[in-house]
Structure 1
Amino acid sequence: MPVSAATAAKLREAMQRLLAGEPIRTDGALTKENLAREAGVSHATVHRAEDILAEWDAKVPRQVRRTPGKVRRDEDIDTLRRQLRGAKQQITELNGKLDALATVTANLYHENFALRRKLGQNPRIAVLPAAD
């Protein structure tokens, strides 16, 4: 038993929205179940609309599980992961430089301390007041 003209129109409109990536009632995945939900009809009704299913199968040869939103999300995640790797690499480089500077500072402190002792000056270094 074929579907009514009104139901066929609903299914075609729903198909256009899904294929355009502009769903109203679903997550946008290109599945026959979402076609039914998007059109507001039962799953059985979709299967009775053989001509519309043939159009669907021609436009969507395999069911795609990722919606355009999920594709964008995955691309954003990949971009953020690349940025995170770059930031981690930069942090590693900066930590290496910081360690090197700490070593140089410690060596300069000890040299300064030894030179002050040789000159007979008080080797203690004045403590600076903390900044507010």
Structure 2
Amino acid sequence: MTAPHNRALTEDGVSAKTAAALRAAMRRLFDGKPQHTDGRLTKENLRREAHVSRATMNRATPILAEWDNHVGEHGATTPGEARRDDEITQLRRKLAEKTRESMITNRRLEAAAIAIAALHHDNTQLRQELAANGGRVTPLKRHTTR
């Protein structure tokens, strides 16, 4: 024989106290201000946050429907997770921009290295020609203007 229920059930299928606890827990989780869980938007966290049993929570079908509707509309990320995801997206954009800048700089450095190598080659040849001529330098005539 089961004991008679001393608590009146609300339209939520649970006592008014339990319904209030579940709704308060839902608000805390949706606002990103959990008190008793890690804040992830899971029904297990809702149950723990409200300090009710799984069976009691499962009897509160209208409240669970509200939960499902909210999670369906807003996603299962908490405000903290959304901020983290936004920050990751911004950091990825910055990384892509810096990578692009680095590639441009590397191309410029490679072009400069090629130019320097060509100049070094020319300089070496000129020095060899100078040595072959006995080190004599042929002066250029000065151009004078009047």
CA contact (8 A) 1:30 1:60 kept: no
Q: Specify the code of the residue in structure 2 equivalent to 1:66.
A: T
* Pairing partner for 1:73 from 77, 84, 88: 84
Report whether the alignment pairs 1:62 with 2:65.
Answer: no
Q: Give matches, 1:11-30, under 5 Å.
A: 11-30=22-41
CA distance in 1, matches of 2:61, 2:109: 70
Q: Specify the code of the residue in structure 1 equivalent to 2:99.
A: K
CA contact (8 A) 2:31 2:79 kept: no
CA RMSD, 1 decimal: 2.6
CA contact (8 A) 1:28 1:68 kept: no
Extract unaligned runs of 5+ from structure 2.
Answer: 136-146
Residue identity (%) = 50
**Which residue does 2:98 correspond to in 1?**
87
CA distance in 2, matches of 1:11, 1:55: 11
* Pairing partner for 1:38 from 41, 46, 49: 49
CA contact (8 A) 1:18 1:35 kept: yes
User: How much does 1:100 deviate?
Assistant: 0.5
User: How many pairs were matched up?
Assistant: 120
Q: Deviations over 1:63-118 (max 9, x none)?
A: 73222222222212211111111111111111110111101111111111111122
| Greater gyration radius | 2
Secondary structure, aligned partner of 1:30: coil
CA contact (8 A) 1:27 1:67 kept: no
CA distance in 1, matches of 2:57, 2:89: 37
**Which residue does 2:143 correspond to in 1?**
none
Give the TM-score of the pair, scaled to structure 1: 0.72
CA distance in 2, matches of 1:32, 1:75: 25
CA distance in 1, matches of 2:81, 2:60: 29
Extract unaligned runs of 5+ from structure 1.
Answer: 122-132
